[in-house]
């Protein structure tokens, strides 16, 4: 299941790159494709780190709407060499960026995705370990003169654990920082 999701993410990103390369020079469909790392901290819980991609096109509300894909996991954070729960988050994040032609852009996003926790022992198979992710976040994006962009944001998870039907490590508030490198950009 996890492999399928990773392959799906890679396929979507590859498709976006291909689309950007082929259409960018003809009709200006490509705006910018950025890729980088995402560092996330859940309030009173784990560090979850991973990868993130961000795509914007002048054909989509004049680059005001960005489409993001990200994968963060405790495997690259709190669970490294500790007993923290190994958990994975796959997110699709459409967001609206204000002041889109400025270096400093406030943004607001909706995050939809899939959560999976690995409890490792069969005795815990009776507990829920997967969930639909549904959160909102907002923050600031700063685009440097070099091809680097940084996102700082805070979010609220609307589908948290409840002790019975959802995983217990789904907490409400999280903070994230993403650092992107501009992979493709229309001139």
Partner 1 sequence: MKTIYILSRLLLIFMVGLSACSKSPVIDNATMLDGDQIFDPSLYNPVKYLVSAAIPNPTTAQKNTPVLIAVHGYTATTFEWDEFRAYSSSKANILLSQVLLGGHGRTYEDFKKSTWQDWQEPILTEYNALRAKGYTNINFAGSSTACPLVMDLIKNGQIGANGMKYILLVDPIVIPSTKILTLVGLVGPMLGYLDNNNTAGEEGHYYHFRPQETLQQLLDLTVKTRKDLQEGYSIPTGIKMKVYKSIKDPTADAISAVLIYKGLTNSDGTKVDIEMLDSELHVVTRLAGRENVTQHDKDIQTHVFDDMYKMIEQ
Site string for partner 1, 51-90 (x = CB under 8 A): ---------------------------x---xxxx-----
Considering beta carbons, is residue 129 or 182 the nearer one to partner 1? 129
Contact 64, 97 (CB under 8 A): yes
- For residues 16-33, one letter each, b for 16 or more C-beta atoms within 10 angstroms of the residue's C-beta and e for the rest, the string is bbeebeeebeeeebbbbb
Strand ranges inside 8-157, DSSP E: 32-42, 47-56, 65-73, 86-97, 104-118, 130-143, 148-157
162 binds partner 1 (CB under 8 A): yes
- Residues of span 167-186 touching partner 1 by CB under 8 A: 167-173
Site string for partner 1, 27-46 (x = CB under 8 A): ----------------xxx-
- Residues of span 117-156 touching partner 1 by CB under 8 A: 119-121, 123-124, 126-127
10 binds partner 1 (CB under 8 A): no
Measured over the CA atoms of residue 40, residue 125, residue 112 and residue 162, the dihedral's sign is negative
């Amino acid at each position: 299941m996890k492999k399928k999701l990773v392959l799906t993410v890679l396929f979507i990103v590859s498709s976006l790159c291909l689309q950007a390369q082929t259409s960018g020079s003809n009709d200006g469909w490509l705006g910018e494709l950025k890729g980088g790392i995402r560092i996330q901290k859940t309030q009173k819980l784990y560090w979850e780190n991973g990868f993130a991609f961000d795509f914007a096109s002048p054909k989509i509300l004049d680059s005001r709407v960005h489409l993001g894909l990200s994968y963060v996991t405790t495997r690259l954070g709190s669970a490294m060499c500790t007993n923290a729960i190994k958990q994975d988050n796959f997110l699709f994040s459409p967001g609206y960026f204000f002041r889109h032609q400025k270096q400093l852009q406030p943004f607001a996003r909706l995050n939809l995705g899939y959560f999976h926790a690995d409890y490792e022992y069969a005795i815990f198979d009776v507990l829920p370990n997967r969930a639909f992710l549904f959160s909102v976040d907002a923050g600031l994006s700063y685009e440097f003169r070099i091809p680097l962009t940084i996102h700082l944001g805070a979010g609220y998870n609307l589908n948290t654990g409840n002790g019975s039907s959802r995983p217990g490590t789904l907490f409400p508030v999280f903070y994230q920082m993403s650092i992107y490198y501009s992979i493709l950009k229309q001139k």
